Amino acid sequence: MDAFLHDLSWVPPLRSEWLTYVFNAFTFLGYAQFFLLFLPIGFWLCGQAMFTRLAMLVGIVGLSNTLLKDLFQDPRPPIEFALDPRVGDSFGFPSGHAQIATAMWLWLAYEIRRGWAWAVAIVIALGVGASRIYLGVHDLEDILGGILLGLATIVVYRGLVSDALKPWHDLPLAVQAAGIVALAPILYLVWPRAEVPALVPGLVAFMATWWFGQAIERELVRYERHPRWLVAVPTAVASAAVLFWLFGEIGAQLKALAIPSAVALAVQFVFMSLFATVAAPAVFRLLRLARPT
């Protein structure tokens, strides 16, 4: 059983040039660059409420997975199997790609409530998980753990967004945002390793600012997608490209100023959230690229 869960010697003989392209495409769906594009585009095109819930879910998965990796400190497969150099020195169990793909895509299918959405979600979740084994950066145990945790995350999250937590949902916006920010010191106190990854304050900043920004948009901007898809889609894609470029430029400038990585990442995520939830929708309204009022 141990060999079944951890041995990757059977993977290299299956590799080919075209399969590597396919699985690299699947694995991209679990990296930050994808979420930097997908969440804002979804917010602008498919509904602010739905993609705010999804953004919060992504943040929760990111924090929980980072915590569990540092808790278990399970090594990744031997480096000679690896085709993905982006994993750095992070641990293997549970797979973040498998956890986020399972939680995010199945949650979207749950929101959409259509058979085709469930089919797409399952294919993507399994494809992303399989890509991590194919690329040699996770073993089967890591993937199974990520999938199970992704499913558990959906169950817990459904409770968090339900009427069972209505007292939380009725709190003033400032109190809610402060409650999210309070996660940072709590996580620093309970973190299992002496050094807390820079991603942790970044994710907390992302969640708090997105939550605050979407509420401001709802009250002041009141953005609605342009009724013509030929206007809405190019606008969203072009804006996401601008966001992607600015995100990288801000990171480069902060790095040149020798800003600590945790602070720099938090600044980048704050910018991304405010751009997606407030700035871009306001510009869309100003330029009449949104539904006329």
Decide if pLDDT at 145 tops 80.
yes
Which residue among 6, 138, 169, 226 is the active-site one? Answer: 138
Active site residue 226: no
- Residue predicted with more confidence, 88 or 39: 39
Say which residue, 165 or 180, is predicted with more confidence: 180
**104 touches 149 (CB < 8 A):** no
Q: Band of the pLDDT at 2, cuts 50, 70, 90?
A: low
| Residue 160 pLDDT greater than 90, yes or no | no
pLDDT confidence bin for 1, thresholds 50/70/90: low
Say which of 6, 97, 169, 226 is annotated catalytic. 97
Q: Which pLDDT does position 284 carry in this prediction?
A: 95
Judge residue 292's burial from the number of C-beta atoms within 10 Å of its C-beta, 0-12 exposed, 13-18 middle, 19 or more buried: exposed
Which tokens in the block code for residue 26? 């699947």
pLDDT category of residue 90 using cuts at 50, 70 and 90: confident
Q: What is the pLDDT of residue 86?
A: 86
Domain ranges (residues) in the chain? 9-38+45-168, 171-293
DSSP assignment of 242-292 equals HHHHHHHHHHHHHHHTT--HHHHHHHHHHHHHHIIIIIHHHHHHHTT-B--
Residue 138 known to be catalytic: yes
- The string of pLDDT tens digits covering residues 224-281 is 999 999 999 999 999 999 999 999 999 999 999 999 999 999 999 999 999 999 999 9
What band does 136 get if pLDDT is binned at 50, 70 and 90? very high
pLDDT tens sequence across 202-233? 999 999 999 999 999 999 999 999 999 999 99
- Taking residues 59-65, report their average pLDDT: 95
Task: Output the average pLDDT for the chain.
Answer: 92
The pLDDT assigned to 167 comes to: 83
Nearest-angstrom CA–CA distance, 116 and 107: 14
